[in-house]
Chains A and B, each alone.
Chain A
Amino acid sequence: MMLRYLHEWGSPPVFYQRAGRWQRVLWTLAALLILAGLWGGLVLAPADYEQGQVYRIIYIHVPAAWVAMFAYVVMAVTGAIGLIWRLKVAEVITSAGARTGASFTILALATGAIWGQPTWGTWWVWDARLTSVLVLLFLYLGFIALENAIEDRRNAARACAILALVGLVNIPIIHFSVYWWNTLHQGPTVARLSAPAIHITMLVPLLLMALGSMLFYAGALLSWGRALMLERERSSRWAAREAGV
């Protein structure tokens, strides 16, 4: 029963319809969580004793950075699925993932720069964490450039999947080498094994925002995937029916 349900997702028309329903559910939940997180972060949470009000940008910045990194892993995994089982759905999700991931990476870099200007006194420093996020953006852009350069959609998807996997192997090496090279960014305050070094009134909105961003990302993935699927299947009968022509 469960297996059959999952199997049906592999069919483009079923994917198109179900993704449309799921996208609405995900975006509604994301909107609720993000509204709650913003309320908690911007109104209820106290100002930071060192950084004052400026720190509040972390409610956008940190979730964006988390999603940006998470999205690359998702992209590589769906790329591998597409490469192994040749599922069209996995291929369009990979392609959608590159674009959504790149958007979140840009958001993380931009909000980081806006926060850095008043706090560090500069828009940009060549610090390890900033640099590795910048390299992540380069990896996303390379993926998109390769995909645009290959005309045949299926070949493009397969070539890009290989690139994503090569990137996935390389990311830990790049990350580590960049750390070895230089670090100035404040260390992790949430994801560590001991108690987080952040007060609970700040942590709860941050986690709400993170979950909300994650759901928004999932919805965007489906939304973009649907559009790409419709474009790719434009000569099929179900696509014509869905588009109403």
Chain B
Amino acid sequence: MMAFVALLRRDLLLAVRRRGDLANPLIFFVMVTSIFPLALGGDPRLLAAVAPGVVWVAALLAALMSMDALFREDFADGSLEQMLLSPCPHSVLVGARVLAHWLVAGLPLVLLAPLLALLLNLPVEAMPALLLSLLLGTPVLSLVGAIGVALTVGLRRGGMLLALLMLPLYIPVLIFGAGAVEHAASGLPWTAPILFLAAMLALAVTLAPPAAAAALRITMGE
């Protein structure tokens, strides 16, 4: 627990000291979202129809792009090796790292999403569903992504590979996330997909850190 808090503090402090990097996933999110109206034409009805999917896909890609930084720097300067030598359970360390990463890269995405949804003409009634689905879904993306990053961190050009490994595993989150917003936008009940997202989060919180820790031990050569 002590190690968890200490690592969380260190990572958040590092992130705050380097504010410039914080904005990058957000700018990416905004840019990807604004590409869609340019490609599809500005018809408000069309945009409203595709908005749930577009916002979710853009958020997913932004989360994926930011995942690469999860362990890379610590791997490069050797602190990852030190962490794995510590007696503390590795899954706890991975959990702290993922939480810090989500607070820095994931939570701002969630907060920015309603603004982008407005740009895409998404009905206001769908906003709670959008916020809630992203709030439950993006931590799942970070947790599952941690496994992929742990497997690819030692490799040159790991970025493309990470996307190849992770996108199939992200499909359920995308389906239920976009589904919840879609239902809300058409005035249907949207509790069911939200509950599925919550279940996936519970599953990811319990299973992903040990898997990512095992993957890290393999890439670091035990």
Q: Do A and B come from the same complex?
A: yes
Which residues of chain B have C-beta atoms less than 8 A from A169's C-beta?
207
Determine whether the beta carbon of B207 is less than 8 Å from that of A173.
Answer: no
Determine whether the beta carbon of B171 is less than 8 Å from that of A135.
Answer: yes
Q: Which of B138-181 contact A (CB under 8 A)?
A: 144, 147, 151-152, 154-155, 157-158, 161, 164-165, 167-169, 171-172, 175-176, 179
Which residues of chain A have C-beta atoms less than 8 A from B211's C-beta?
162, 165-166
Encode A168-195 as 1/0 by CB contact (under 8 A) with B.
0110011011101100000000000000
A114 at the interface (CB under 8 A from B): no
The complex places the Cα of A162 from the Cα of B148 at a distance, in Å, of 10
Determine whether the beta carbon of A138 is less than 8 Å from that of B215.
Answer: no
The complex places the Cα of A177 from the Cα of B173 at a distance, in Å, of 9
Q: For A159, give its contact among B167, B203, B219 (CB under 8 Å).
A: B219
The complex places the Cα of A244 from the Cα of B203 at a distance, in Å, of 53
> In this complex, what residue of A is CB-closest to B151?
A159
Determine whether the beta carbon of B175 is less than 8 Å from that of A135.
Answer: no
B87 at the interface (CB under 8 A from A): no
Q: How large is the interface on B (under 10, 10 to 19, 20 to 34, 35 or more residues)?
A: 20 to 34
A-B pairs with beta carbons under 8 A, tally: 73
- Decide if the interface of chain A is mainly helix, strand, loop or mixed: helix
B15 at the interface (CB under 8 A from A): no
Determine whether the beta carbon of A162 is less than 8 Å from that of B214.
Answer: yes
A117 at the interface (CB under 8 A from B): no
The complex places the Cα of A235 from the Cα of B64 at a distance, in Å, of 41
B12 at the interface (CB under 8 A from A): no
> 10 other contacts beyond A135-B168, A174-B171, A180-B179, with CB at 8 A cut-off?
A141-B164, A142-B164, A145-B165, A146-B161, A162-B211, A162-B214, A163-B165, A165-B211, A177-B175, A178-B171
Interface residues in chain A, defined as those with a beta carbon under 8 Å from any beta carbon in chain B: 135, 138-139, 141-142, 145-146, 149-150, 155, 158-159, 162-163, 165-167, 169-170, 173-174, 176-178, 180-181
Which residues of chain A have C-beta atoms less than 8 A from B41's C-beta?
none
CB distance from B81 to the nearest CB of A (A): 16
Which residues of chain B have C-beta atoms less than 8 A from A177's C-beta?
171-172, 175-176, 196
Which residues of chain B have C-beta atoms less than 8 A from A158's C-beta?
218
CB distance from A143 to the nearest CB of B (A): 8
The complex places the Cα of A226 from the Cα of B167 at a distance, in Å, of 32
